Amino acid sequence: MVQLLVGSAVFFFGSMLQGVAGFGLGLIGAPILLMFYSTSMVTAMLAIFASSSNLVILWSLRRSVNRRLYLLLLAGAVFGIIPGAMIRHLVPLTAFKWIIGVLIIGCGGVLATGWQLKRQNDMLTVGVGFLAGVLGGCLSIAGAPVSIFLTAGELSKNEFRATISLFFLSVNVLVTAALALGGQLSFELVKLAPIYISLICLGSALGTRLGFFVPARVFRLVVICLIICSGASLLIFS
């Protein structure tokens, strides 16, 4: 019962945050859910259930998606996932987590100064997508490079939320397919789905609506704080 209550709270409030910022459900949810569920179960829940959050956000912001940017990022990510999975078995993960965590925190600090990337070309965008794929395959943090890149750009608040939601939806579909092929989807997921997905959809809808009223400057600050937290989580849970 406690497990269900905690999970419900995590998915509701995490999806509300994701509705406001475009991401954050996995960042908030993973550390808490891992105290009650196995790693494979949490990975599956965040991939499958979080897709419903992405869909709710996308439906509200569907006209704001930067399709070209999304396609370039996705193209890079697809080619980065396999090398990322290989790196996982070739390097000491603890040291790798510390290096990536420090770099993410450093990038968040730079963004906090107000720095923005004045020029974004196609090769750079594909490169960021590739890095996202590598980190997704290795450490399950595909969102960090993309959120940093989009924050450094000159996207509007809604364009940011819509584009990153579509990117995460695509990544979640790929992860879900990989889990299904690996036989890692359990019947327990089916039992939990109606409750958790309902709460995620409600939280995402409320968060997306709330996001329309958040000033651009506050929105940028929230995103930067989430970026720094994602880096810190790698250091804390390494």
Q: What is the DSSP letter of 20?
A: H
- Do residues 77 and 117 make contact, with C-beta atoms less than 8 angstroms apart? no
Query: With bands split at pLDDT 50, 70 and 90, how would you rate the model's confidence at 153?
Result: confident
Instruction: Name the band, by pLDDT with cuts 50, 70 and 90, for residue 94.
Output: confident
Mean pLDDT of 94-109: 90
Q: How many CB atoms lie within 10 A of CB 59?
A: 12
pLDDT category of residue 40 using cuts at 50, 70 and 90? confident
Length of the chain counted residue by residue:
238
Q: How many CB atoms lie within 10 A of CB 183?
A: 7
Model confidence pLDDT, tens digit, residues 168-177: 999 888 888 8
> How many domains is the chain partitioned into structurally?
1
Nearest one of 108, 102, 168 to 133, comparing CA atoms: 168
Closest C-alpha to 210, from 69, 72, 19: 19
Q: How many CA within 13 A on the CB side of residue 94?
A: 2
Q: Which helix (H) or strand (E) holds 209?
A: helix 187-211
Average pLDDT score, the chain: 90
**Looking at the predicted structure, is the pLDDT value of residue 186 above 90?**
no
pLDDT band at 185 (very low <50, low <70, confident <90, very high): confident
| Predicted local distance difference test score (pLDDT) of residue 238 | 66
Range of the domain at 39: 1-237
